[in-house]
Amino acid sequence: MVFRPVIHDDLGCASYLVDDEEAGVAAVVDPRYDVAEYLELARYLGVRIEHVLETHEHADHRSGHGRLAAAAGATVHIHEQALAAYEHEPHARRLTPLEVPRRAHAGDLVVDVGTELEFDEAHVPGAVSITALRAGFGSKLAWLAPTGGGVVLVGRDDDEASRAVWLAAAVGVSPRSDRSPAA
């Protein structure tokens, strides 16, 4: 998995194309209004842009999420608290600590995204460990994720869980997430 920054000198900010060439998929984070650069980069890399991720509503410039979604057939994702008025998929919702083992019992794959040391110290019984801090998280997750089945990501805090959800979305995995400490 590679994070490719796309710098916008005129806006003083950046967006990112996150791609997994092995899986042939990509996500664009906070796209600018002119989406041609993302489409060209995706063609060059041989990947499909399947997800457009907005980190927040952009009051300082126009986003290209709608244009990119239309051009690439991608799904737009933004946090539910942004109260976006446009069509989008909300990020995975938080699960309570009691819901996680229930989801595991129902057959969902439970993935602890913390470090190996954190996993050794405490984890949900039956969970597998794939740290979201290392390259290859998305590829490993995509390989393990059951087709049509659920995936639960367990992180130690909001940042860890959110990062894992975004990396999962970049490879086409739509997880449920839980930010609660492992049991």
Asked whether residue 108 falls in the same domain as residue 77, the answer is no
**38-63 pLDDT, tens per residue?**
999 999 999 999 988 887 666 556 77
Dihedral in degrees, nearest 10, Cα atoms 180, 181, 182, 183: -90
Lowest mean pLDDT: which of 60-69, 87-96, 131-140, 145-154? 87-96
Domain count, the chain: 2
Burial of 89 (0-12, 13-18, 19+ CB in 10 A): middle
Asked whether residue 106 falls in the same domain as residue 81, the answer is no
Asked if 149 and 176 count as a contact pair (C-beta separation under 8 A), the reply is no
Q: What are the start-end ranges of the E strands in the chain?
A: 2-8, 13-20, 25-29, 48-54, 75-78, 89-90, 109-112, 128-129, 151-154, 176-178
108 pLDDT exceeds 50? Answer: yes
**160-179 pLDDT, tens per residue?**
777 787 777 767 676 654 44
Angstrom distance (rounded) from CA 14 to CA 30: 8
The confidence band for 180, taking pLDDT boundaries of 50, 70 and 90, is very low
Angstrom distance (rounded) from CA 99 to CA 94: 10
Asked whether residue 7 falls in the same domain as residue 80, the answer is yes
More confident residue, 90 or 165: 165
Residue finishing a domain among 52, 68, 90: 90
pLDDT for the residue numbered 24: 92
Q: What is the CATH number of the domain that holds 33?
A: 3.60.15.10
What is the pTM assigned to this prediction?
0.51
